[in-house]
Amino acid sequence: MGDTPIDVAYPTAEVPHLRIAVGACRLTAGPHGGEGWVIGNYHDPTDSRPIKVIEEAGGASITEAKPTFGRLPAVLGGASDYDLEIGKERSFALTIETGASDFDLDLGGVPLSRLVVKQGAGKFEMDFPQPNPERMGLLDITTGAVGLELENLANANFSEMRLSGGAASYDLDFGGTLAHDALVTIETGVSAMTVSVPATTATKVFAETTLGTVDVGDGFTKKEGFFLTKAALGGVGPVLTIRAGIQLGSLQLRTA
């Protein structure tokens, strides 16, 4: 059963791009405080999916010679595993592309200028327990049939967030510190979505459903077509604006 160490150095580009494009797998990643851009280990119990790391001046790609984007193997021992640690020394853009996978990402304190996620199916968890020290221009997430859990999104420090998906369940927590005005656009199909924001964060939510329901918890007041937190009613800034369009399903709005 093959284990392959991963050690990717920072490239020469001023703002490099890291691309992780892997097939059906489990991937766990968190920050590290040492030298190097990406370190870790790849475990392939089948010895049939060799890893491929491409390092160039503009960035690096972590992928496989022949990625398999189908379902995770039914037998737990058959799934490949990535265990990664990501450096915090330099700002960079990150793209993640995967199929039916199980992802658990801790990106606390990682300086991301842009983050793009494309996942076909499976489970995707991402957390920002510490603020991103770099202002993120765009957080762009596209999913298929996914169980998606995003925590402490205010700490991602994005200016714009876009989420689009199909039949899935979404749990979006905008905890953390909102450093500046931010816009979130959500477009989903058949989905169950929960959006949670701190009561102290000025938040405006415009919710539109075709054949769905909107369940608004305590802490929101409807005004001029928007649901506003008390902080937004009081004119406190910065402001988080969320525009959620759900074709068929449910949207729950909660304050924490």
In a domain, 231, yes or no: yes
Which residues 6+ apart lie within 8 Å of 75 measured at CB?
A: none
**Residue 79 has what pLDDT?**
77
In a shared domain, residues 58 and 133: no
Mean pLDDT of the 62-89 span: 73
Average pLDDT over residues 126-131: 98
Mean pLDDT on 6-33: 95
Quick check: is 94 in a domain?
Answer: no
Same domain, 132 and 76: no
pLDDT grade for 78, boundaries at 50, 70 and 90: low
pLDDT at residue 71 in the model: 46
Whether residue 1 is contained in a domain is answered as yes
Q: Is residue 92, in this structure, part of any structural domain at all?
A: no
Are 129 and 105 contacting, i.e. CB atoms less than 8 angstroms apart? no
Q: What's the mean per-residue pLDDT of the chain?
A: 92
Last residue of a domain, one of 59, 87, 115: 87
pLDDT at residue 68 in the model: 55
Helical (H) or strand (E) element with 122: strand 112-127
Shared domain check, 162 and 214:
yes
Say if residue 24 is in the same domain as residue 141.
no
The number of distinct structural domains making up the chain is 2
In a domain, 102, yes or no: no
Together in a domain, 72 and 173: no
Q: What is the Cα Rg of the chain in Å?
A: 19
- Please tell me whether residues 165 and 52 are part of one structural domain: no
Could you tell me if 50 and 165 lie in one domain? no
DSSP 180-240: S-EEEEEEEEEEEEEEEE-TTSEEEEEEEEEEEEEEE-TTEEEETTEEEEHHHHTT-SSEE
DSSP 123: E
Q: What is the pLDDT of residues 153-170, one digit of tens each?
A: 999 999 999 999 987 899
Alpha carbon 223 to its chain's center: 30
DSSP state of 110: -
Query: What pLDDT, on the 0 to 100 scale, is given for residue 144?
Result: 87
Residues 203 and 245 in one domain: yes
Q: Give yes or no for residue 197 having a pLDDT over 50.
A: yes
Question: Which helix (DSSP H) or strand (DSSP E) does residue 99 occupy?
Answer: strand 92-106
Task: Yes or no: say if 93 and 72 are a contact pair by the CB < 8 Å rule.
Answer: no
Residues 118 and 239 both lie in one domain: yes
- What is the Cα–Cα distance from 65 to 222, expressed in whole angstroms? 53
Write down the pLDDT at residue 66.
Answer: 65
pLDDT at 18 exceeding the cut of 60: yes
d(CA 187, CA 196): 17
Q: For 29-39, what is each residue's pLDDT tens digit? A: 999 988 899 99
**In-domain check, residue 99:** no
Instruction: Looking at the structure, tell me whether residues 123 and 234 fall in a common domain.
Output: yes
Torsion of CA 109, 158, 256, 119, to 10 degrees: -90
Confirm if 152 and 173 have CB atoms less than 8 A apart.
yes
Domain span including residue 162: 107-256
| Residue 43 is assigned to a structural domain of this protein | yes
